[in-house]
Chains A and B, each alone.
Chain A
Amino acid sequence: MTSAPLAPPVPAREAAAPALGRRPPARRRRERPTGLRISRIVSRVLIAAVLVMQVYPFLWLLQTSLRDREDFAAANPFSIPTQLTLDNFSRAFEQGHLLRSILNSLIITGGACLLLVVCGMAGAYAIAVLGFRFSGLVRGLFLLGIVVPVQVALVPLFIDYSRIGMLDTHLSVMIPLAGFALPMALYLFLSFYSYIPRELYEAATLDGAGPYRIFARITLPMSWNTVVTVVMVNAIFIWNDFVFANTFILSEELKTIPLGLQDYVGAMGNTDWTATFAAVSITVTPLLLVFLVLNRAMIYGLESGASKG
């Protein structure tokens, strides 16, 4: 099931198309094309409507960020701007700390993804390849993490961090982000490791390789595709995290992009919408571009995550 979505499924949909017609084909042969056409038109209109719903808000955001401030205040929000300006972007950079928050987001996302990949890989290797007596129990323990909502960790972690002086650090946000993403990552690695043939390990063992060498020479080099999938799926959620950063980060200097955006409204009041939308565009665009280029890995991860879960 997981490999199906990767191969673009184009083959003759025409053959199954009569199934979509309203009537049994045998009896009313002549009406079939009409019913078919109507249901096709309806489904295409619906598909287009959903497309507009999902994409238009983003296009609107972009065009607003390019629009003159006065023009935006006066005009119908649906109208196309008469002239474009980059003014909003310079104001967005002046009044906020965009670059600083981008840097903070990069540090936290990079650190959390590294933690996640290292721990996911090591855990899956211990469970699936090395094996030990209570591996089933450990597996179940991690499964728990998929269902548990993140809110339950907020208060205790806040208290623990303030006790050991870790509040308001990059690491304080990385740990829960990686921790809550770990179960899913672990399962992706586990399912991939179950495909590596045992003979490979047996041969390596006969050649005298121990568990560390086998990990470094066989398992790790074969894992890169799964690493990309795990990073793609989680990087977006970690990059966009609001609740942990909002709770554990207190100082201005450490604010991530989602927090920085929230401040924009406060700092400028609700009047400077075009500059705010320029800031939103700046923070959203790089992520969207990465997504548009690398979406296969992400979509694959989402699909296989769901069918394994």
Chain B
Amino acid sequence: MLPHRSRLSVLVFLAPPLLLFGGGVLLPIVQSLVLSFFEWDGITGLDFVGLENYRALLLHDDVFRTAFGNQLVYLVICLLLQVGGGLLVATLLMTITRGREVLKVLYLMPAVISTPAIALLFQRIYSFEPEGLVNTLLGAVGLDALARPWLSDVSTVLTAVSVPEGWRFLGLYTVILYAALLSVPRELEEAASLDGANAWQVFARIRFPHIMPVFVTTLIMATTYALRGFDIPFLLTNGGPGQASELVTTYMYKTAFTSGHYGSASAISVIIVLECLVAVGLILLVLRRKAD
């Protein structure tokens, strides 16, 4: 603490960030919360309805229920690809001696591409007519029977819109987890392998416990990002066909900006926030307890 600071100087430095954060983040959160107790079409007056928006969503809205289930599938696929895949690739990187820095950069490349560009790319990768990359590849290995229009087939569309998101940030989590793996003391690993531990044991008993704090952080990042995942499903299928790839986030967007039910949309966005908080709480509860 500086001895000669005045109250005014603290205010001068603190005001801009508080204004930006208050106006751009905190105020909207509070407004969403308030608005979720009202029914409002944006034109006529506000109607206080209490918890009715939540009740309708949770008890009577089949689309919401489908969207919620879909979001969970989306979450699982993203976690498998990003955290699972990232951990695997980071571990693999530890086994080679040259080119690791270059590989890290190349793995990160998809994270630099904007979501509309990725959506365009995958629309073509999945396409059936003209034959896209996936179907050509299946044909080449003799699995023609599996070829299909991935984005309009109800049974595959949800996976198809989830994979690009997982793929996009695989490199990001690889880089983070790799940095953590590097910080594991080499002597511990060496001592363990001298004692006869195999590769898996070294990983499970030494490396993984050591990177646990970073692993928890990446898990939280990946989970909250997946729960708010929106762009790629919105751009690729906009929730279709039917509600086969509808996520809570795309449903919220439609409820607000297509149907104009701002109250109900706010309730959905509050639910998304709650989902994130619950997920973070669960992760901390389960993994912290395990670590103790």
Binding site for B on A (CB under 8 A): 1, 4-5, 8-10, 13-26, 39-40, 43-44, 46-47, 50-51, 53-55, 57-58, 60-61, 64, 73, 76-78, 115, 118-120, 122-123, 125-127, 129-132, 138, 141-142, 144-145, 147-160, 175-176, 178-180, 182-183, 186, 201, 205, 210-212, 214-215, 236, 239-240, 242-243, 247, 257-259, 261-262, 264-265, 270, 273, 276-277, 280, 283-284, 287-288, 291-292, 295, 298-299, 302-303, 306-307, 309
Contact = CB atoms under 8 A, between A and B. Distances in A.
B108 A295 contact: yes
Contacts of B249: 149, 151
A61 B182 contact: no
Given A58-B109, A205-B3, A302-B175, A5 B182 contact: yes
B25 A148 contact: yes
Contacts of A214: 2
A180 B24 contact: yes
Contacts of A24: 196-198
Given A19-B190, A78-B133, A288-B112, A243 B230 contact: yes
B210 to A, nearest CB: 11
A258 B273 CA distance: 26
Nearest to B167: A53
A182 B21 contact: yes
Nearest to A20: B199
Given A57-B121, A242-B231, A303-B175, A4 B182 contact: yes
B136 A77 contact: yes
A43 to B, nearest CB: 5
Contacts of B93: 47
B109 A44 contact: no
Interface residues of B, number: 115
B117 interface: yes
B272 A151 contact: yes
Contact of B89 (A47, A119, A175, A180): A47
B49 interface: no
A277 B116 CA distance: 12
Nearest to B1: A131
Q: Is the interface of B mostly helix, strand, loop or mixed?
A: helix
A119 B190 CA distance: 46
A155 B256 contact: yes
Contacts of A44: 96
B217 interface: yes
Contacts of B171: 54
Given A123-B17, A299-B104, A306 B262 contact: no
Contacts of A159: 31, 42, 262
Given A25-B193, A122-B14, A54 B5 contact: no
A54 B228 contact: no
Contacts of B224: 147, 149
B82 to A, nearest CB: 13
A104 to B, nearest CB: 13
Contact of B20 (A125, A156, A179): A179
Given A156-B35, A205-B3, A288-B112, 19 more contacts: A1-B179, A8-B101, A15-B186, A53-B167, A77-B124, A77-B133, A78-B136, A132-B10, A152-B28, A157-B24, A158-B257, A205-B2, A257-B114, A277-B124, A284-B114, A291-B105, A295-B108, A299-B175, A307-B180
Interface stretch (B50-58, B61-69, B149-157, B263-271): B263-271
B121 to A, nearest CB: 6
A180 B20 CA distance: 9
Given A130-B5, A212-B9, A303-B179, A156 B221 contact: no
B17 A130 contact: no
A141 to B, nearest CB: 7
Contacts of B136: 76-78
A101 B172 CA distance: 27
B79 to A, nearest CB: 16
Contact of B9 (A39, A130, A145, A153): A130
Contact of A176 (B4, B25, B178, B269): B25
Contact of A60 (B5, B18, B133, B213): B133
B76 interface: no
